[in-house]
């Protein structure tokens, strides 16, 4: 039976106040809580687990390209129900590099369904899923919101410009997962206990093709002051939007 | 030569595609080069508009198979054109198609990709440096692209569209898709019913409402305000989760990220995950009954009070403004 590979990313919790160090060349991880990227967890991983529970897949493996400090995040995926995990021991984050590593692993180990998240909330590339499909020369269905499997044939609903579309595709296949695929799960006690003993394999990178690098970061400028307008003087707001903000 | 990917939507060149051609023209200026645009199933007026946006040459492809949104077919087509034309820099819009096609092309051509650029690039030796938004809009990062072929996709609504009087030369191109092994079979398409509104990612004016509206039955005034402004409607996540509004209206960190000129937030508290998807907006107006609502700290203009009385007044004020404009 078919095996599913779920690439997961390790990202700062959504409430994190972002800061940088080292002359604004590095993300400051001090005090930051890391989580599985929400799209990877809530949609890709949970849907993959549901497919396995329905007897449609034999095994769900999570894969991550990152350093040892991501292991706690991989174990969270175990607690949710992933069978095993692979970490490619390299910091990334160039999307080309990450995708090439995952594609190589998937090819060598015979994964027929790769379920990535639609994007990371850290680098917002929306790239890795489609790149994996490119490296493996496989079809891609992006922004999947519903996914079902009958034997070897997937039926998928996904977002397109201005609407949605239903397609069918035989495996092997890459999908990028968006809201709608599944509901968020909370790990249960059994999952949490089992997470410690599930196999996490650490392997070295198979290439060193990094085509982009980040030179520096800048925090987005906040807004200075909010001009309060009296609710009985709404003409004033419309006037300001026209003459000051020049947006209407 | 700078190669730019474009799309036609509802009979017109997409605004995002015109932005991409303009952007390509800017890089062409910097690199002493010219822009070639790819036109897929485009007619003469559409091709003319691409010329006005700054394309010197248009590679025109007519092939119905490419109407299917299959990124494998689209990417193979762009790859063949890029090879035939010897493209070293390729520009996409960071829209739904761009997010599926540009990364695949990056893998195929071993081309470094910056996805979601918010500024024009600078040249540093053989590298291009360009800023993109990261951490869901909380910061930008300066990326360097170090590969020989480089791909940039640009965040929609980040660059103004300018049309000039340039006319392009047109060449026909036939892509050979016989070796593309796509197994995707199309079953049905549903269009989001947006009542003729501009889709959210492209909208310049957005009226958005949250849980403060109490229930879906109260959205009439929100829609009316949007209609008066010719704006697109959006909502916060709980509103979509409770099915008060369709999912495609959900903006924020886990929804659509937008950067319109005007974002009006009504009965939305301004949680950090909501702000992450909207704080790139040029001007933000917040209407909220709680003076402690965090959104006021991220707004340009605020009205403290009950949305149920303020929104109808705002509709009237806009009607009056429009009448005076004429
Ligand atoms: C991982 C994660 C991701 C998330 N992603 C998103 C996302 O993408 N987008 C998103 O929106 N949220 C997201 N959220 C949820 C977010 O944290 C907030 O819960 C949500 O944005 C709140 O929605 P709201 O402002 O509509 O509702 P509330 O927080 O309940 O706010 C309602 C507001 O309406 C005001 N109000 C009430 N009555 C009136 C009235 N009569 N007139 C005027 N104002 C009134 C109240 O003062 C209040 O400020 C995410 C959360 C998590 C944990
Ligand atoms: N370092 C990584 N390791 C494993 N998977 C990743 C990594 N980075 C991104 N991904 C996957 O690729 C998807 C898209 O990421 P991105 O292109 O960075 O927005 C994510 O949702 C993950 O599923």
Give residue-wise pLDDT tens across range A101-141.
999 999 999 999 999 999 999 999 999 999 999 999 999 99
Question: Are A197 and A80 a contacting pair, CB within 8 Å?
Answer: no
B292: helix, coil or strand? coil
* Burial grade of B119 (CB within 10 A; 0-12, 13-18, 19 or more): middle
- Please give the Cα distance from B67 to A146 (Å, whole number): 22
Ligand 1 contact via B238 beta carbon (within 6 Å)? yes
- Please give the Cα distance from A21 to A216 (Å, whole number): 10
pTM: 0.95
pLDDT bracket for residue B272 (50, 70, 90) = very high
Say how far residue B14 (Cα) sits from the centre of its chain.
9
Average pLDDT (B49-55) is 98
Instruction: Tell me: pLDDT of B195 over 80.
Output: no
Ligand 1 contact via B245 beta carbon (within 6 Å)? no
Structure tokens at B227: 């209609």
Q: Which ligand is nearest to the CA of B213?
A: 1
Residues from chain A contacting residue B106 (CB–CB below 8 Å): 95-96, 127, 131, 134, 211
Please enumerate in sequence order all residues whose Cβ is within 8 A of that of A38, keeping only pairs 6 or more positions apart, or say none: A14, A117, A121, B253, B254
Nearest to B274 by CA among B295, B289, B260: B295
Q: Does A219 touch chain B (CB under 8 A)?
A: yes
pLDDT bracket for residue A195 (50, 70, 90) = very high
pLDDT, residue A193, reads: 94
B324: helix, coil or strand? helix
The alpha carbon of B211 and the centre of ligand 1 are apart by a number of angstroms equal to: 6
- Tell me: the pLDDT tens digits for A83-92? 999 999 999 8
Nearest residue of chain B to residue A236 (CA atoms): B317
% of chain A with per-residue pLDDT over 90: 93
Ligand 2 contact via A66 beta carbon (within 6 Å)? yes
Of the CATH numbers 3.40.50.800, 3.40.1160.10, 3.40.50.620, 3.40.1010.10, which one belongs to the domain with range A3-218? 3.40.50.620
- Tell me: the pLDDT tens digits for B199-237? 898 899 999 999 999 999 999 999 999 999 999 999 999
pLDDT, residue B201, reads: 86
Nearest to B17 by CA among B144, B192, B163, B140: B163
Q: Which of A4, A5, A6, A8 to mutate to test the pocket of ligand 2 (most atoms within 8 A of CB)?
A: A8
Nearest to A10 by CA among A53, A65, A56: A65
pLDDT bracket for residue B307 (50, 70, 90) = very high
Q: Does B123 touch chain A (CB under 8 A)?
A: no
- Please give the Cα distance from A9 to B218 (Å, whole number): 39
Of A122, A212, A216, the CB nearest to B112: A212
Structure tokens at B255: 């929804």
| Nearest chain A CA: its distance from B33 CA (Å) | 23
Q: Which of A117, A179, A181 to mutate to test the pocket of ligand 2 (most atoms within 8 A of CB)?
A: A117
Residues from chain A contacting residue B115 (CB–CB below 8 Å): 95, 124-127
pLDDT bracket for residue B325 (50, 70, 90) = confident
Q: b/e string for B292-311 if b means 16 or more Cβ within 10 A?
A: ebbbbebbbbbbbbebeebb
Average pLDDT (A216-238) is 93
% of chain B with per-residue pLDDT over 90: 89
Average pLDDT (A43-65) is 98
| Nearest chain A CA: its distance from B174 CA (Å) | 21
> How far are the Cα atoms of B124, B128, B286 from residue B215, in angstroms, in the given order?
54, 49, 19
Per-domain boundaries in chain A = 3-218
- Please give the Cα distance from B185 to B212 (Å, whole number): 43
Question: Are A60 and A6 a contacting pair, CB within 8 Å?
Answer: yes
% of chain A with per-residue pLDDT over 70: 100
- Please give the Cα distance from B99 to A79 (Å, whole number): 31
Residue B312 backbone phi and psi in degrees, to 5: -60, -35
pLDDT, residue B304, reads: 98
Q: Does A191 touch chain B (CB under 8 A)?
A: no
| Nearest chain A CA: its distance from B74 CA (Å) | 12
Q: Does A218 touch chain B (CB under 8 A)?
A: yes
pLDDT bracket for residue B137 (50, 70, 90) = confident
Can you tell me which residue has the tokens 């496989």? Answer: A138
pLDDT, residue A220, reads: 87
Query: Do you know the residue count of chain A?
Result: 248
- Please give the Cα distance from A144 to A46 (Å, whole number): 14
User: So what's the ipTM on this one?
Assistant: 0.95
Cα–Cα–Cα angle for B160, A215, A132, rounded to 5 degrees: 80
pLDDT, residue A23, reads: 96
pLDDT, residue A152, reads: 95
The alpha carbon of B301 and the centre of ligand 1 are apart by a number of angstroms equal to: 19
The alpha carbon of B268 and the centre of ligand 1 are apart by a number of angstroms equal to: 5
Instruction: Tell me: pLDDT of B182 over 90.
Output: no
Q: Does A24 touch chain B (CB under 8 A)?
A: no
Residue B266 backbone phi and psi in degrees, to 5: -115, 120
* Ramachandran area for residue A178 (φ above 0: left; ψ -120 to 50: alpha; else beta): beta
- Please give the Cα distance from B235 to B209 (Å, whole number): 5
Say how far residue A220 (Cα) sits from the centre of its chain.
23
Q: Which helix or strand (DSSP H or E) is residue A228 part of?
A: strand A227-228
Question: Are A40 and A98 a contacting pair, CB within 8 Å?
Answer: no
Question: Are B52 and B163 a contacting pair, CB within 8 Å?
Answer: yes
- Tell me: the pLDDT tens digits for B58-114? 999 999 999 888 999 999 999 999 999 999 999 999 999 999 999 999 999 999 999
Question: Are A45 and A76 a contacting pair, CB within 8 Å?
Answer: no
Residues from chain A contacting residue B17 (CB–CB below 8 Å): none
- Tell me: the pLDDT tens digits for B9-37? 989 999 999 999 999 999 999 999 999 99
- Please give the Cα distance from B271 to A70 (Å, whole number): 27
The alpha carbon of A226 and the centre of ligand 1 are apart by a number of angstroms equal to: 19
Query: Do you know the residue count of chain B?
Result: 326
Ligand 1 contact via B269 beta carbon (within 6 Å)? yes
Residue B74 backbone phi and psi in degrees, to 5: -65, -45
> How far are the Cα atoms of B124, B205, B307 from residue B233, in angstroms, in the given order?
42, 9, 16
Say how far residue B196 (Cα) sits from the centre of its chain.
17
pLDDT, residue A222, reads: 80
């Amino acid at each position: 039976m078919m095996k599913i590979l779920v690439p997961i990313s390790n990202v700062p919790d959504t409430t994190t106040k972002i800061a940088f160090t080292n002359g604004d060349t590095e993300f400051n991880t001090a005090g930051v809580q890391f989580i599985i990227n929400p799209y990877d967890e809530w949609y890709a991983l949970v849907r993959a687990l549901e497919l396995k529970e329905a007897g449609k897949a034999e095994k769900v493996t999570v894969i991550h390209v990152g350093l040892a400090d991501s292991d706690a995040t991989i174990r969270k995926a175990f607690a949710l129900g992933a069978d095993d995990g692979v970490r490619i021991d390299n910091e990334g984050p160039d999307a080309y590099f990450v995708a090439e590593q995952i594609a190589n692993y998937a090819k060598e180990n015979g994964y027929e369904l790769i379920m990535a998240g639609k994007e990371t909330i850290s680098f917002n590339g929306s790239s890795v899923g489609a790149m994996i499909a490119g490296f493996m020369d496989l079809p891609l269905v992006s922004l999947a919101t519903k996914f079902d499997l009958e034997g070897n044939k997937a039926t998928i609903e996904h977002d397109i410009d201005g609407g949605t579309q239903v397609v069918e595709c035989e495996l092997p296949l890459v999908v990028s997962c968006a809201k709608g695929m599944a509901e968020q799960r909370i790990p249960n006690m059994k999952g949490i206990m089992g997470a410690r003993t599930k196999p996490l394999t650490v392997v070295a990178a198979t290439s060193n093709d990094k085509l982009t690098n980040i030179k520096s970061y800048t925090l987005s400028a906040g807004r200075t002051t909010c001009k309060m307008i009296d609710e009985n003087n709404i003409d004033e707001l419309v006037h300001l939007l026209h003459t000051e903000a020049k947006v209407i | 030569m700078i190669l730019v990917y474009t799309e036609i939507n509802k009979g017109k060149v997409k605004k995002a595609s015109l932005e991409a051609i303009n952007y390509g023209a800017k890089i062409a200026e910097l690199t002493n080069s010219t822009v070639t645009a790819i036109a897929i199933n485009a007619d003469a007026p559409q091709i003319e508009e691409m010329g006005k946006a700054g394309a010197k040459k248009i590679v025109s492809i007519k092939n119905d198979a490419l109407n299917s949104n299959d990124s494998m077919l689209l990417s193979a087509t762009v790859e063949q054109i890029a090879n035939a034309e010897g493209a070293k820099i390729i520009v996409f819009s960071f829209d739904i198609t761009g997010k599926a096609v540009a990364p695949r092309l990056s893998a195929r051509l071993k081309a470094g990709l910056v996805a979601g650029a918010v500024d024009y690039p600078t040249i540093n030796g053989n590298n291009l440096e360009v800023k993109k938004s990261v951490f869901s809009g909380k910061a930008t990062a300066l990326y360097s692209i170090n590969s020989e072929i480089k791909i940039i996709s640009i965040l929609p609504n980040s660059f103004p569209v300018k049309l000039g009087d340039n006319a392009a030369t047109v060449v026909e191109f036939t892509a050979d898709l016989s070796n593309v092994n796509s197994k995707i079979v199309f079953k049905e398409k549903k269009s989001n019913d947006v009542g003729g509104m501009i889709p959210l990612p492209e909208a310049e004016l957005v009226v958005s409402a949250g849980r403060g509206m109490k229930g879906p039955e109260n959205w009439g005034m929100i829609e009316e305000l949007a209609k008066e402004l010719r704006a697109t409607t959006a909502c916060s996540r709980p509103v979509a989760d409770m099915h008060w509004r369709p999912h495609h209206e959900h903006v924020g960190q886990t929804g659509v990220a937008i950067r319109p000129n005007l974002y009006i937030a009504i009965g939305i508290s301004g949680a950090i995950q909501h702000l992450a998807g909207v704080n790139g907006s040029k001007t933000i107006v917040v209407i909220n009954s709680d003076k402690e609502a965090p959104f006021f700290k991220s707004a340009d203009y605020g009205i403290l009070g009950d949305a149920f009385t303020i929104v109808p007044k705002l509709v009237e004020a806009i009607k009056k403004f429009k009448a005076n404009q004429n």
